[in-house]
Structure 1
Amino acid sequence: MRTPRFLLAAAVGLVLTACGSRLTTEPLSTDTRPTDQPAVAGDYPEQPDGVPFPTAEWPVGDLPADVSRTVLDTAAASAFGADDAAARVRSLVVVKGGEIVYERYHPLDGPDNRYNSFSVAKSFTSALVGLAVADGELALDDTGLRPEWAGDHRRDVALVELLQMSSGLQWDEVYEAPSDPLDVIAAQDAAALVAAKPLESEPGTVFEYSTGTTALLVGLVADRHGGCAATADYLHTRLLDSIGITTDTLLTDGDGCWLGGLGADMTTRDFARFGPLYLRGGEWDGRQILPESWIDATRVPAPTNADYGLQWWLGADGVFSAEGLFGQRVVVDPADDLVIAANSTADGDPFTLVDAVRAELLSPTGPDAAPPSATTTVVTAPLTLPPTN
């Protein structure tokens, strides 16, 4: 499904050089990573026996016995705010061991609500590029990516530098008109608009967060894969359909190409489905959807920003996450076999909520004296809220 780009434009207005070239299903050698960073290859937990992948339905399980549901409920109530239109955080889905063990929604929302993705879409674009790399259509060290770059130094921009937000192309990531991101949303050909930008720094030397760069990545896949419609089919057939994502709405430019840097809207349960694909090293129900080496490469810190990989944000202890404006998060924690997805409004704080939930799961303070029998809480009635100032 596609969304008229002017609607999201109005909403926004308001408010590996180190990784080598061709990737295969074999893990990357540790000597291709920066020497001051730990290797992350091979730390992906397997799907527990008897727990199906959530291709059709999400399996639902119990919270670990020593986890306090009261602590989670209190954190959610504080984050969600009052039960009126001024809601803050809107949804939370916690997946442990492949099962939803905790789920909350603001009273105005529910499991069927579709949420804007904003920059969480960038991580989906990374997966799209990973498919093209695995199929031999692109390579991380490819240069000369656009024909109009042949006569100047833009020909030296490598694919990995686009993925790591260090292309050197001129960009200003602000959201009040006039702005580069709003120009991309309104563009007839978003990739061409970004490709026309001059260099403002040497490729690979400066981190410059750019929604336009991600639109350019989609354009590169489209150029090599038969155009906009064929690329959307490729995204769905090879990625979204394969992992059971069915509620997506893609925001496109005037030519019909997905913008990539934003606009992959879906339910929180579908956002959460994206996490296990990376948590399992690209494998899904016996199929290798993405090479494990691509997941590894995604988690290598960029030379220009140790907190960023290939369109994913990198945290401590091997945790990595897709993050979006106004508070969308998909957090992947391989060491603890954990995925947390949350959606929020501009006034929300999903960071504090997700951190509180993860802290309770990793260092439990429970059990509660009388835990409820339900394994999952879907909030459809007003929450009991703490006092507000």
Structure 2
Amino acid sequence: MRRVQKLFLFVVAITMIGISGIIGWLTFSPPDGLLSASAVAAKMVCSNVFIAKRDAASVIGSDVAFALPHVANRLKISVDPANQRVEVAFRGLFAKRDAQYEDGRGCTLVSKDEIPDRAAPPSRPAKPDALWPAGERVQLSEDKRLLAALNDPALQGPGMRAIVVVQDGRIVAETYGEGFSASTPLQGWSMTKTVNAALAGMAIKDGKLSLDRQNLFPQWAGDARADISVADLMAMTSGLKWSEAGDSPDPDGLENLAKDAAAFARDRPLVAPPGTKFNYAGGSSVLLARLWQNAVGADARAYPQERLFKPLGMTSAVLEADPSGTFLGEAFLFANAHDWVRFGEFLRLNGEWNGEQLLPAGFVDYMRSPVLVSEEGHGPVYGRGQLWLGPGQGFRLPADTFMMQGHLRQVIAIIPSRKLVILRMGLTREDIGYSTAKLLQAIAAASQKS
């Protein structure tokens, strides 16, 4: 009997030691996977609640559950409206991450007791009661073909949140998913990359940056990375090691764990000579943002608002930054659908707005010029200004079609020959066979003037 009791006590002791070890591990050295999940949830809830003004429960039940299907129900997510802060912890105890909102600057991942610099928010002048793009009023088309394309659930795709069509400089059609409207800021994901490239172009126009500049960071001095140019970063041909797959064992996709995303991307090793290999990499966009910020200097924080968003009337636009202050130019621009298509129309007009050339003359043509090494079967798929080329992807659209595209089936298609801009945004899985191609083709066909 004593032997059984001793064995029982031994098993209990070993179990308690094991549990204590697991608790200690999760408390003091939680795995990157859990830290990343907490960070994603904190940032996502914070941005959608305090920028987009969405209901927290809806964001948690849709966006967070969608992004983190295997762990979302094990995360305790606490929203503090008074302090505009979100805290997330696994099982309410482990891998804690906090995100703090700052008016006009969006949400940033911070440490538990850290309070970010609360600079005065950027001014947002009221828009006149005028037709878009000067104001928000629209005069919608009654064309039956266009309306049929816009309102076809199969073309819209599951999780559609916004579709807007601009023809000849006016919004002619729009529709929104349940709970969303023309005023709801939406995350553009990788459509942000194209906006970031345009900001680099504005720094070029201001004489502060050049496409051929090399020796971009002191940390690259003396090694082959010194040969990487601004143009290489824009074309996704830097040669730096990077994996976009969030579930990859390669840690290069975990920049959300770093307080300085640019430093994380900067320190990747070189795996191909610059300019020789196409590799779609969010790290290149973050480095590009850091470069134009360095070039602009003290005015960099206000640069997106003052140089781009205000002139275009993009009053809802918020480009978020990491804790170091680097703008997250790879994915984290929020803007409502009307403002997103303002930027698309800006590109259609070759970087001119209200008679002012905001980008260097010819810069949009440069952005649209093909990266030849991005050939993937139909021709080059990527342009030199962090945008996609329709023909290279096999889209049956006019040959001059180019696109901004983002995670979860975000797209803005720009067709200069048709004076047409088409936006579709949503929360749509990318493994279910849905493509925006048929929607774009149907709208383009309906919008074609006889």
Shorter-chain TM-score range: 0.7 to 0.9
Counterpart selection for 2:255 from 184, 189, 209: 184
Partner of 2:166: 95
Give distance in 1, aligned partners of 2:224 and 2:234.
Answer: 18
The 5 A counterparts of 1:200-219 are 200-219=271-290
Aligned with residue 270 of structure 1, among 323, 335, 339: 339
SS of the aligned residue for 1:329 comes to strand
Among 154, 159, 167, the residue aligned to 1:78: 154
Match of 2:351 in 1: 282
Deviation at 1:346, TM superposition (A): 2.2
Per the TM alignment, residue 349 of structure 1 is displaced from its structure 2 partner at its CA by 4.3
Query: Could you tell me which of 328, 336, 359 is aligned with 2:445?
Result: 359
**Aligned pair partner of 2:408 in 321, 326, 348:** 326
Of 328, 335, 341, which residue of structure 1 is paired with 2:417?
A: 335
Secondary structure, in 3 states, of the residue corresponding to 2:315?
A: coil
Matched to 1:357, the amino acid is I
Residue by residue over 1:135-176, the C-alpha shift from the partner in whole angstroms, topping out at 9 and shown as x without a partner, is 111111111111111110100011111100000001111123
Question: How far apart are residue 53 of structure 1 and its match?
Answer: 8.1
User: Residues 202-231 of structure 1: CA distance to partner in whole angstroms, max 9, x if unpaired?
Assistant: 11111000001100000111222226xx32
- After superposition, the Cα gap between the structure-2 partners of 1:53 and 1:276, relative to the gap in structure 1 and judged at 3 Å, is farther
TM-fit CA distance, 1:54: 3.9
> Aligned residue for 2:390?
315
Give the Å deviation of 1:192.
Answer: 1.2
What do residues 224-248 of structure 1 show as CA deviations (whole Å, max 9, x unaligned)? 2226xx3231111011111011112
Q: CA deviation at 1:109?
A: 1.7
Give 3-state SS (helix, strand or coil) of 2:382's partner.
coil
Secondary structure at the counterpart of residue 442 of structure 2: helix
Distance 1:79 1:118 in 2: 21
Where 2:405 maps in the other structure, the secondary structure is: strand
User: CA separation in 2, counterparts of 1:204 and 1:243?
Assistant: 33
Equivalent in 63, 69, 72 of residue 141 of structure 2: 63
Query: Would the aligned equivalents of 1:251 and 1:259 in 2 still touch at CA under 8 Å?
Result: yes
In structure 2, relative to structure 1, the CA distance for the partners of 1:64 and 1:294 (3 Å cut) is: farther
The higher relative CO (CA closer than 8 Å, separation ≥ 6) is in 1
Instruction: Give the Cα separation in 1 of the matches to 2:335 and 2:311.
Output: 15
Distance 2:215 2:356 in 1: 33
| Structure 1: gaps spanning 5 or more residues | 16-51, 82-86, 365-389
Residue 294 of structure 1 corresponds to which residue in structure 2? 363
Rg bigger for which structure? 2
The structure carrying a bigger helix percent of its residues is 2
- Deviation string for 1:239-262 (max 9, x for gaps)? 111101111232321112211001
> Which residue of 191, 199, 218 corresponds with 1:120?
191
Conserved in 1, the CA contact under 8 Å of 2:348 and 2:414? yes
Asked if the contact 1:333–1:339 (Cα under 8 Å) also holds between the matched residues in 2, the reply is yes
CA change 1:89–1:294 in 2 (3 A) is: same
- Post-superposition Cα deviations, 1:93-117, rounded to whole Å, max 9, x if no partner, equal 0000111111111233211222111
The answer for the alignment partner of 1:304 in structure 2 is: 373
Q: Is the 8 A contact 1:122 1:311 kept in 2?
A: yes
C-alpha contact (below 8 Å) 1:321/1:332 kept by paired residues? yes
Q: Which residue of the partner structure matches residue 117 of structure 2?
A: none
The ranges of structure 1 where at least 4 consecutive aligned residues each deviate by more than 3 angstroms after the TM superposition are 8-13, 52-56, 61-65, 177-182, 347-351
**Deviation sequence 1:37-91 (CA, Å, 0-9, x none):** xxxxxxxxxxxxxxx88454145345386x624532443x33446xxxxx52111
Q: Which residue of 2 aligns with 1:195?
A: 266
Partners of 2:300 and 2:139 in 1: CA distance: 36
1:307 and 1:78 mapped to 2: Cα distance? Answer: 26
Aligned 8 A contact 1:14 1:176 in 2: no
Give the structure 2 partner of residue 175 of structure 1: 246
Unaligned runs of 5+ in 2: 1-38, 46-62, 70-129, 375-379, 392-398
Task: Describe the shift of the 1:59–1:112 C-alpha distance in structure 2 as closer, same or farther (beyond 3 A).
Answer: closer
Q: Secondary structure at the match of 2:443?
A: helix
**Higher alpha-carbon deviation: 170-179 or 283-292:** 170-179
Superposition TM-score, scaled by structure 2 size:
0.65
Alignment coverage as a number of residue pairs: 316
2:7 counterpart residue number: none
Cα separation, 2, equivalents of 1:128 and 1:120: 13
Aligned-residue RMSD, C-alpha:
2.5
Q: Is the 8 A contact 1:186 1:253 kept in 2?
A: no
Q: Which amino acid aligns with 1:129?
A: A
Q: Cα gap change, 1:109/1:349 in structure 2, threshold over 3 Å: closer, same or farther?
A: farther
Aligned 8 A contact 1:90 1:345 in 2: yes
Cα shift at 1:185: 2.5
**Alpha-carbon distance, 1:322 to partner:** 0.6
Following TM superposition, by how much is the alpha carbon of 1:334 offset from its aligned partner in structure 2, in angstroms? 0.5
3-state SS, counterpart of residue 226 of structure 1: helix
Worse overlay, 328-337 or 6-15: 6-15
Cα deviation, residue 351, structure 1:
3.5
User: What percentage of residue pairs aligned between the two structures are identical?
Assistant: 31
- TM-fit CA distance, 1:178: 5.8
Say whether residues 1:133 and 2:215 are aligned partners: no
Q: 2:324 aligns with which of 251, 255, 259?
A: 255
**Alignment-derived partner of residue 26 in structure 1:** none
Q: Distance in 2 between matches of 1:268 and 1:246?
A: 12
Task: Report matched runs for 1:358-377 at 5 Å.
Answer: 358-362=444-448
Shift of 1:180: 4.7
SS of residue matched to 2:338: helix
